[in-house]
């Protein structure tokens, strides 16, 4: 049966509400907000904030940051197998001083069983979710919150994801949270930047020079380290001056960002900055592929399986998250690509008709599809891929084969269009194989598993939303283009914040990590070369100022306070509330 896909119906208070024709005509740049400008200036002038920034950009500290980046990234962490990177991040948060009891000033939320206290749902798509969050408790008194418990205090989430596409899976041998087994440590290979990029897994495996780690997983500063740890402006600079490519899955997607979120938590703790709302610095599971955004779905209680009639069950923000900042590398994205993700299965009851062949007939036909934007370049970029194919279970595939397909577009119309083009081809694969074999044996079925609600903010809310304004204005403050742009960046992305956007929680997707050059994302040969610090420092400021402007900040002497007047203490709690 064709799956019911109700997501286009959701609109939120903060974006996507019914928009008048007049509003559609308004320029899509935020209105000037003098109150927020004042906050941002006060944040910039705060000595503790400046100390955080100078520490982050300090050369010795940045070298340590790089080492931590490599130490964590070499722990293989496929979607739905993130337990070990989760354990590692929780341990690092605790070592950085987030070691108090839950509810104290600094504590870590993580459980090796993948459950999060206070979350509305825990086991998602049948599995545990290994989010690790470091909490800086804000100054909001408990009395302002209805039915308060330590986990329902108003909070801002800032997060980066810990799952990486390659490898596809690992063996989980210890679920206690006490150990990280040796087999999950990957090799971090390095090769001169003047060498051609490796073109196959075999070529990658042939690189013998690696970064080296001691028995405690500490990166050793040896000759290989000295070759790899040099910062460059760009690839030409690296090639001209002895730079090395560092090959490790997850280098940029997304561990340089995720580790920057961790560093921000550590530095905020060191500087003793007290926000008003709590801040949860989270390293989240499940952003990629089969992860199906489970990390965010846990944080926001988002239940993909709830029926449209039960909107109250669709998403329940019991953690009371008032604003979300995802550091996935988005260009200050506030619009979110929708996607259709299906698992298409072929099952044969008679070997005369072959399930693998039926799948191949369908994929071969799909491979010749020109997407709406390929047919008409004036349409929004619309893409598709058969990302995976595999025999199911113990079968060799002749009886039981599935493939997984991803289709994306920033607006529903073109997504529906590509879906309509491809949909008949699934069944055609089975029909053609049955016709060839002269039996009616292969049955095709489809399972919708990827719920990434598309979301486009209304121009009105784009102009007035405090989070968007803070990101926009602080970008200008830190990168010298304050209000010089004609409009807010319009690109849509398909990232973690699709989930808060669907609940109605304001969200923006930003970037901290900078490479001189990098590539191979989602492929076997992901690589990066460390970039110059200036870019990372500017991005760090941009994100930090935005975070403190929306979370609020108490003055060093307690006398002054940046009030997070932007949002109520109680966020939209569930999709029904948002919808009404």
Which residues are near another protein by CB under 8 A? Answer: 79, 165-168, 195-201, 235, 253, 288-290, 337, 339, 341, 351, 354, 356-357, 359-364, 366-368, 381, 383-391, 396-398, 401, 403-406, 408, 436, 450, 494, 519-525
Measured from the CB of residue 366, what is the shortest distance to another protein in angstroms? 7
What CA–CA distance (Å, rounded) separates 102 from 449? 34
DSSP state of 568: -
H or E stretch covering 202: helix 201-205
Instruction: Look up residue 104 and give its two tokens.
Output: 């104290």
CB 335 within 8 A of CB 457: yes
Measured from the CB of residue 168, what is the shortest distance to another protein in angstroms? 4
Measured from the CB of residue 103, what is the shortest distance to another protein in angstroms? 37
Measured from the CB of residue 279, what is the shortest distance to another protein in angstroms? 29
Measured from the CB of residue 402, what is the shortest distance to another protein in angstroms? 10
CA distances, 357 to each of 343, 364, 400, 437 (Å): 16, 10, 10, 11
Measured from the CB of residue 451, what is the shortest distance to another protein in angstroms? 13
CB of 201 or CB of 568, closer to another protein: 201
What CA–CA distance (Å, rounded) separates 472 from 489? 9
CB of 401 or CB of 458, closer to another protein: 401
CB of 6 or CB of 391, closer to another protein: 391
Sign of torsion, CA 314 319 325 326? negative
- What are the E-state strand segments in 352-399? 383-391
Measured from the CB of residue 385, what is the shortest distance to another protein in angstroms? 4
CA distances, 455 to each of 462, 463, 506 (Å): 12, 16, 11
Measured from the CB of residue 370, what is the shortest distance to another protein in angstroms? 9
What CA–CA distance (Å, rounded) separates 278 from 267? 16
* Cα radius of gyration (the chain): 24
CB of 150 or CB of 365, closer to another protein: 365
DSSP state of 181: -
CB of 130 or CB of 469, closer to another protein: 130
CA distances, 422 to each of 3, 49, 364 (Å): 15, 52, 11
**DSSP states along 230-288:** --BSSHHHHHHTT-EEEE-TTIIIIIHHHHHHHHHHHHHHHHT--BSSEEEEEEES--S
What CA–CA distance (Å, rounded) separates 442 from 434? 6
CB 373 within 8 A of CB 381: yes
Measured from the CB of residue 465, what is the shortest distance to another protein in angstroms? 25
Instruction: Look up residue 403 and give its two tokens.
Output: 């493939």
Q: Specify the pairing of strand 553-554 against strand 561-562.
A: antiparallel
| Contacts (Cβ under 8 Å, ≥6 apart) of 41 | none
| Contacts (Cβ under 8 Å, ≥6 apart) of 178 | none
Task: Give the SS3 label for residue 241.
Answer: coil
**What are 553's strand-pairing partners?**
275, 562
CB of 511 or CB of 578, closer to another protein: 511
Measured from the CB of residue 406, what is the shortest distance to another protein in angstroms? 5
**DSSP states along 422-476:** HHHHHHHHHHHHHHHHTS--EEEEEEEEEEE--B---HHHHHH-HHHHHHHHHHH
CB of 472 or CB of 524, closer to another protein: 524
CB of 100 or CB of 380, closer to another protein: 380
Going by C-alpha positions, the residue among 294, 338, 276 that lies closest to residue 501 is 338
Instruction: Look up residue 397 and give its two tokens.
Output: 């595939």
CB of 410 or CB of 564, closer to another protein: 410
CB of 193 or CB of 562, closer to another protein: 193
Measured from the CB of residue 479, what is the shortest distance to another protein in angstroms? 23
Task: Give the rounded distance of the alpha carbon of 470 from its chain centre.
Answer: 20
Measured from the CB of residue 130, what is the shortest distance to another protein in angstroms? 18
CB of 341 or CB of 574, closer to another protein: 341
CB of 112 or CB of 519, closer to another protein: 519
CB of 94 or CB of 436, closer to another protein: 436
What CA–CA distance (Å, rounded) separates 84 from 178? 10
Measured from the CB of residue 485, what is the shortest distance to another protein in angstroms? 23
């Amino acid at each position: 049966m064709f799956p019911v896909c109700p997501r286009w119906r959701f609109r939120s208070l903060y974006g996507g509400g019914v928009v008048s024709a007049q509003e559609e005509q308004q320029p899509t740049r935020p209105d000037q907000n003098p109150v927020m400008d004042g906050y941002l200036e006060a944040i910039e002038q705060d000595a503790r904030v400046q100390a955080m920034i100078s520490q982050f950009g300090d050369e010795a500290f940045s070298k340590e940051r790089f080492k931590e980046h490599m130490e964590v990234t070499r722990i293989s962490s496929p979607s739905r197998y993130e337990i070990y990177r989760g354990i590692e991040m929780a341990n690092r948060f605790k070592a950085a001083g987030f070691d108090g009891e839950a509810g104290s000033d600094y504590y870590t939320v993580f459980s090796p069983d993948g459950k999060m206290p206070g979350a509305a749902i825990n086991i998602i798509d049948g599995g545990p979710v290994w989010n690790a969050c470091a909490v800086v408790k804000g100054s909001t008194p408990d009395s302002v919150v209805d039915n308060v418990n330590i986990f329902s205090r108003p909070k801002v989430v800032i997060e980066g994801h810990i799952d990486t596409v390659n490898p596809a899976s690992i063996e989980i041998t210890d679920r206690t949270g006490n150990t990280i087994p040796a087999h999950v440590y990957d090799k971090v290979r390095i090769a001169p930047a003047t060498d051609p990029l490796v073109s196959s897994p075999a070529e990658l495996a042939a690189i013998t020079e690696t970064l080296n780690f001691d028995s405690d997983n500490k990166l050793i500063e040896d000759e290989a380290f000295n070759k790899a740890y040099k910062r460059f402006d760009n690839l030409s600079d690296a090639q001209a001056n002895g730079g090395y490519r560092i090959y490790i899955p997850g280098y940029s997607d997304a561990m340089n960002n995720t580790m920057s979120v961790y560093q921000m938590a550590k530095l905020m703790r060191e500087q003793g900055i007290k926000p008003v709302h709590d801040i949860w610095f989270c390293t989240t599971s499940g952003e990629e592929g089969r992860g199906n955004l489970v990390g965010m779905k846990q944080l926001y209680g988002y239940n993909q399986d709830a029926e449209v009639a039960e909107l109250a069950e669709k998403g329940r923000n019991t953690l009371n998250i008032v604003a979300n900042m995802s550091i996935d590398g988005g260009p200050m994205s506030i619009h979110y690509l929708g996607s259709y993700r299906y698992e298409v299965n072929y099952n044969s009851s008679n070997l005369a008709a072959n399930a693998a062949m039926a799948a191949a007939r369908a994929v071969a036909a799909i491979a010749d599809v020109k997407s709406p934007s390929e047919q008409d370049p004036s349409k929004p970029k619309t893409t598709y891929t058969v990302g995976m194919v595999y025999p199911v279970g113990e079968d060799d595939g002749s009886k039981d084969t599935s493939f997984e397909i991803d289709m994306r577009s920033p607006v529903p119309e073109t997504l529906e269009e590509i879906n309509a083009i491809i949909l008949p081809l699934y069944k055609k694969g089975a029909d053609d194989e049955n016709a060839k074999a002269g039996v009616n044996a292969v049955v095709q079925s489809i399972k919708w598993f990827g719920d990434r609600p598309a979301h486009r903010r209304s121009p009105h809310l784009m102009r007035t939303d405090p989070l968007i304004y803070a990101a926009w204005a602080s970008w200008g403050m830190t990168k010298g283009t304050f209000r010089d742009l004609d409009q807010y960046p319009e690109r849509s992305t398909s990232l973690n914040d699709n989930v808060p956007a669907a609940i109605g929680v304001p969200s923006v997707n930003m970037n901290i990590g900078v490479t001189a050059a990098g590539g191979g994302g989602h492929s076997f040969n992901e690589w990066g070369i460390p970039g110059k610090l200036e870019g990372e420092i500017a991005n760090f400021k941009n994100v930090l100022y935005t975070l403190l402007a929306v979370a609020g900040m108490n003055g060093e002497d307690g006398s002054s306070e940046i009030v997070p007047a932007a949002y109520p203490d109680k966020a939209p709690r569930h999709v029904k509330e948002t919808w009404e």
